[in-house]
Amino acid sequence: MATSSAPLPVVVIGAGPIGLAAAAHLRARGLQPLVLEAGPAAGAAVREWAHVRLFSSWGEVVDPTAEKLLAPTGWVMPEPGAYPSGGEWAELYLQPLADVLGEQVRYGARVTGVSRTGRDRVVDAERASQPFVVQYETTDGRERRTLARAVIDASGTWATPGPAGGSGLPALGEKAAADRITYRVPDLRDPTVRARYAGRRTAVIGSGASAFTALAHLAALAEAEDGAGTHTTWILRRSLAGSTFGGGEADRLPARGALGLAAKAAVDAGHADAVTGFRTEAVERAGDGRLTLVGEDGRRLDPVDEVLVLTGFRPDLTFLAELRLGLDERLQAPAGLAPLIDPNQHSCGTVRPHGVRELSHPDKGVYLVGMKSYGRAPTFLAMTGYEQVRSVAAALAGDHEAAERVELTLPETGVCGGAGLFDEPEAAEPPGAGCCATTPAALTPPPCDLRHQTPLPDPA
């Protein structure tokens, strides 16, 4: 454990886009960051969806303060209007940023616990005056601890995807069928992965950006020379309506709108059949290995060869168990933030910018930021995370005026609807309503949202 008399660092958990931006803001404020990253490189989670293109452009996924930190190295942002893939984002921006931070980023350090020094979550006495203690494991299995003046958890939600079961629990038989179930958008450029889906029937469970991406990519495979017979069953827990496909041509993030239009094109072209109002209760394996999905209402779907479960992500809070967190009971997001991001009412663009006030907890000095701060809400954008850490860093530096100031305007509309009321039948929607009535033009495989690949998955 660190025992030096030097000022304690602010520990940042995760070297993804938001964690590295937090470190850049802290350094710009004269504070000492220490970034603990479980993976072997910057953007480890982002690299796992390297093949997916974001629907936010370079100009929207580079933090301005991080850009200033990079400038002395000769780094130049790629074309601001272009859309990076996850791999490009990691290699061309996140890794150079981590390299500039140097020894302030520690790889192969998986955080296993955070607490107040000498105080578990029960103890009140002198609690607020105690520094944080962060325990982590290194890749060689050693356990280590470091003290911190504050903790910023930007670890994201990528490692904890939602299950297939409509109740939020794994469907019966889901674990036993793990060899044919994937919780990520597959990289169909990989010959081995491509062979797994080409000419086969795949069920896609989900209604967000990741599901749209999978539908579009599988439709492109169906039209390819080696993909004859490829077909998708798209499973939605809600009904199919105009708003199902997001903002379309009205979206102020054009690539985000194109993503929904590409999913609609896959359905219209017959490459995907939509099954609506279906909540998975069980996964049954046939003698030939194929899977049959059984709904809570007793419906049984035709057997499929593969299942893609793209039902969002949820936060891992286990290593924060000794802290006093104020979390919303539904979203598992900070209580002050939850009403602003409730997917029953908000899309990405209708979430107003927010900062340290909404992100604070009963244990002062700990902050969940990025996708982790959104809990189970699927509406996160990288721009939102950059605004969060700008505000948090300002507060930690004592600049409360800057911490309270809003410095972000978000684009409205899009494919960010989540669970809750979005699952309800949309029979009341008048004919022609929604954002996707226009017949889409032919589209190349589209960009994807940070969450769910951002983000969204995310990414952190």
Task: Give pLDDT tens digits for 251-302.
Answer: 555 555 677 788 889 989 999 999 999 999 999 999 999 999 999 999 999 9
Lowest mean pLDDT among 109-118, 221-230, 350-359, 378-387: 350-359
pLDDT for residue 244 = 57
pLDDT for residue 32 = 98
pLDDT in tens, 134-165: 999 999 999 999 999 999 999 999 999 999 99
- Return the higher-pLDDT residue of 410 and 438: 410
pLDDT for residue 459 = 35
- Which pair of structure tokens corresponds to residue 197? 């889906």
Q: In sequence order, which residues have a C-beta less than 8 Å from that of residue 45 and are 6 or more positions away?
A: 16, 39, 156, 158, 159, 457, 458, 459, 460
- Return the higher-pLDDT residue of 296 and 342: 296
pLDDT for residue 299 = 97
* CB < 8 Å & 24+ apart, contacts of 417-420: 417/207, 417/208, 417/243, 417/246, 417/343, 417/347, 417/378, 418/208, 418/312, 418/343, 418/376, 418/377, 418/378, 418/379, 419/237, 419/312, 419/343, 419/376, 419/378, 420/342, 420/343, 420/344
pLDDT for residue 428 = 35
- Mean of pLDDT values over 422-447: 33
* 448-452-455 Cα angle (round to 5): 100
pLDDT in tens, 396-417: 999 999 999 888 766 554 333 3
pLDDT-based confidence at 186, cuts 50/70/90?
A: very high
The mean pLDDT of the chain is 86
Plot region of 285 (φ>0 → left; ψ -120 to 50 → alpha; else → beta): beta
pLDDT for residue 353 = 77
Burial letters 210-223, b for 16+ CB under 10 A, else e = bbbbbbbbbbbbbe
